[in-house]
Each structure stands twice: as structure tokens, then as C-alpha cells.
Amino acid sequence: MKISRLLAVAVVVLFAAGIMTVGCDNSYKKQNAEKVAKTEAQIADQQKAEEQKAAAVQPAPAAVEPNVCHGPIGLVGEKKELTIEGKKYSVQGHLVKLETPDTDDEYTFGVITDVKDAIPTTMENLKKFYVEFTAAKVDAILVTGDSSENYDALKTVFTFLGEQKLPTFIIMGNREKKDDFVKALTEVQATYANLFNMNMLRRFDADDVDVITLAGYYDMNYIHNPPGCLYGKKELDDIALLAKESDSPLAIVSHGPPRGEGKDAIDHAVEAGNVGDPEMAKTIVATNIPFGVFGNIHEAGGKAVGVDFKTVIAPETLSDKLYLNPGPASSDPWNMNDGKISNGMAGIFKVKGGKAMYKIISVK
């Protein structure tokens, strides 16, 4: 009996120990599972925090700067209509169009370039030019760049141009800072709808002439007030496209002239020789653009040359091909290549019956 009791007690003890062992095992596994789950959650939280931190210090993608130098080609957007001095115009995409043709076969521009600043003597020059423009019954004004070098002066010049009420087509040269040009012109346009930003509008379709524009300059070394406007192959290719769509005798308007040859060319700088853009010259020839209006090389102004970019055409002579640099509007005295001194110059550019002629206005 004693042995049986001992065996019974042993069985009970072993059974109880087995229960405890199973209980302990289950408790450990449960605690371990909870620990693992907690650790995994902590790791996930930590990874998420690190990802958020990394994202916070990542540099934001660079903002795409809007192109304010050369507007896209295409008749996109809503067509807008306006009236200037009794004539109707429309604007859509890259195109400004005169919607009120006249019965004659001519169109006349007043041409201003290289105003440089809004100092009193230069502003007096502009007033004198407009007396001559009125006498010549010009239809519109071309402003071929370097209107001034800072916002305040640009706004003064643009305001004066707006006050004259004539349709006025304006591009940048190699001295305007982009932000200053856009701000000044946009603000003045709010009052004077006769001013057109021909950086963005690329073609003017009149009844007897078409104008296409190329703003800025081709050589970064001569962008004097960065960030300015630089043009290259793409913009010259655009000129070829615009030339194809033109339906009248065509004139290109740009600040810098095409590369010429010799001392009589409209790009001959006194110390550097012929400094015009050779690729522009090639484009003009290849696309058969018969006329052009330029500026920039002050001392080479006051004349126009023919198709060879070197032979001077006499004023008031109708020509099949004509490329004009009227000379600087600025009142700062400038020694010209012909030995004269400029105290301010402008031009009159007329297309008549498919040919062109010019006249130079000089301040005495």
C-alpha cells in the first residue's frame, strides 16, 4: 500500500509538473510573440519616421522658369480683339493681326532703338522723333531693344510710348534684365493697350507687310544685365517657320544685326570689325526675308544695306532688299563710322508695293 501511494503521489506530482510546464511554455510563447510584434511595430514606426525625415530634407524640384524671351509658335488660346486709333486688331497665340486693312499698298513704321535710359535729354529726343513720325504719317512704331537698363527707366520709356497712342511693337535687346522688362511693360500695358510685347508675340500681320521678331542677342558675352535674353538655333529655326506662314513682304526685327562685311555694314564696330550674327545672316538668306530692322551697333547706324549686307542703300530709295540700322536714340554723343557725331537718331521704314525704303532722323 505504501508503494501504491508513493506511485500515486509521483503520478500526481509529474502530472502537475506537466501542466505547469505546458502553462509556462504557453505563457513564454505568448510573451515572446507580443515582444516580437511590439519590436516589429517599433521598427516600422522608426522606418516611417526616417522616411519622413529624409523626404523633408530632400531638395524640392527646381521650378521651371517661364520663357519670357521667345513666345511659343501656335494660334492657341482665346482670340482677343482691340481697337487702336480707330483700327481693329486681334491677338491670338503668337500672332497680332491688323483686321482693318486700307486701300493703299504701303505701310510705314517709325523705328526707335537703343534709348538706353530715361534721362531728360533722351526723353526730349523721343518727343522730337514723334514730331517727325507724325509728319510722315507712320502707321506703327518698332522698338528694337535696349530701351533702358532698369525697371524705373523702362517704365518711364514705355509710359511715354504708350501715351503716343500708336500701335507699338517692342522687343528686348542685350541690356534689359528679363524681370525688369516684363514687370515694367506689363504694368504699362494695363493702361496702354497699344503696346505689344513682341518677345512673346512673334508676328505682326499688317495689310502690306508682315513683321517677325527675334528678341535678345546671340552672344552670352554681351548680355550686359543678366539674366537677359539669349537666342540660338531653335529661335532661328522658329524664324524660318514664321517666314513660311507670312503672306506679305516680310521684315525681321531684332536687336543685333546679321553679320555683314566691311566698314559700311550695319554691324561694323569700330574696334572689333563686323560683329553681327553669322547664323542670322544665313537664316535671312535661306528663307529669303527681304527686309530687316536692327540696332545695337551704334556707330554703324544711320543707314541700310542691301542683300550682300555690305552695300549701302541711299535713303528714300525703294529697294527689293533692305536691312536698316537707324542709329541710337540715346542723347549720349557717339562717334559714327561716317565721321559724324550722333546726339540721337531714329528711322522711318516704309514698305510700298513690295519694296522698302528708309529715312534717318537725326537730332541736331
**Crossing angle for the helix pair 151-163 and 178-189, to the nearest 10 degrees:** 30
Using alpha carbons, select from 138, 103, 354 the residue that is nearest to residue 247: 354
Nearby residues of 60 by Cβ (< 8 Å), 6 or more positions away = none
Residue 340 belongs to a domain:
yes
Cβ(216)–Cβ(174) below 8 Å:
yes
- Asked if the model's pLDDT at residue 11 lies above 50, the reply is no
The DSSP H or E segment spanning 312 is strand 312-313
- For 51-64, b/e burial (b = at least 16 CB within 10 A) is eeeeeeeeeeeeee
| Rounded Cα distance, 161 and 176, in Å | 17
**Amino acid in position 188:** V
Phi-psi region of 92 (alpha: psi -120 to 50; beta: other; left: phi over 0): beta
Together in a domain, 33 and 103:
no
Tally of domains within the chain? 2
Nearby residues of 8 by Cβ (< 8 Å), 6 or more positions away = none
In the chain, where does DSSP find H-type helix? 2-57, 120-135, 151-163, 178-189, 233-245, 278-286
- Asked if the model's pLDDT at residue 29 lies above 50, the reply is no
Together in a domain, 223 and 266:
yes
**Amino acid in position 300:** A
Together in a domain, 49 and 85:
no
Together in a domain, 39 and 87:
no
Together in a domain, 21 and 137:
no
| Rounded Cα distance, 296 and 330, in Å | 12
- Alpha carbon distances (Å) from 161 to 16, 124, 139, 301: 108, 13, 14, 22
Region 230-250: mean pLDDT is 96
Residue 75 belongs to a domain:
no
Residue 67 belongs to a domain:
no
- Alpha carbon distances (Å) from 94 to 71, 77, 188, 363: 7, 10, 20, 35
Together in a domain, 157 and 218:
yes
- Asked if the model's pLDDT at residue 359 lies above 80, the reply is yes
Other beta carbons within 10 angstroms of residue 72's beta carbon come to 11
Comparison of pLDDT for 113 and 24, the residue scoring more? 113
The predicted pLDDT at position 122 comes to 98
> What is the chain's mean pLDDT, rounded?
89
Region 155-164: mean pLDDT is 98
Together in a domain, 320 and 188:
yes
Together in a domain, 114 and 211:
yes
Domain holding 358, by residue range, is 80-362
Residue 1 belongs to a domain:
yes
49-107 pLDDT tens trace? 666 665 555 555 555 567 999 999 999 899 999 999 999 999 999 999 999 989 999 99
Residue with grid cell 562685311, as numbered in its chain = 261
- For 258, which DSSP code? B
Other beta carbons within 10 angstroms of residue 11's beta carbon come to 10
265-277 pLDDT tens trace? 999 999 999 999 9
Residue 74 belongs to a domain:
no
Cβ(187)–Cβ(249) below 8 Å:
no
- Asked if the model's pLDDT at residue 33 lies above 90, the reply is no
Pick from 5-19, 56-70, 280-294, 345-359: least confident: 5-19
Residue 268 belongs to a domain:
yes
The predicted pLDDT at position 360 comes to 98
Together in a domain, 261 and 215:
yes
Using alpha carbons, select from 303, 351, 326 the residue that is nearest to residue 143: 326
Together in a domain, 18 and 138:
no
Region 316-326: mean pLDDT is 98
Q: pLDDT band at 24, cuts 50/70/90?
A: very low
Together in a domain, 327 and 222:
yes
User: Which of 9, 27, 58 is at the close of a domain?
Assistant: 58
| Rounded Cα distance, 39 and 287, in Å | 74
Residue 11 belongs to a domain:
yes
Together in a domain, 200 and 346:
yes
| Rounded Cα distance, 246 and 124, in Å | 37
φ, ψ dihedrals at 55, nearest 5°: -65, -35
Pick from 53-62, 182-191, 260-269: least confident: 53-62
Comparison of pLDDT for 18 and 228, the residue scoring more? 228
| Rounded Cα distance, 192 and 181, in Å | 16
The predicted pLDDT at position 23 comes to 45
Residue 72 belongs to a domain:
no
Other beta carbons within 10 angstroms of residue 185's beta carbon come to 25
Domain with residue 141: its CATH number is 3.60.21.10
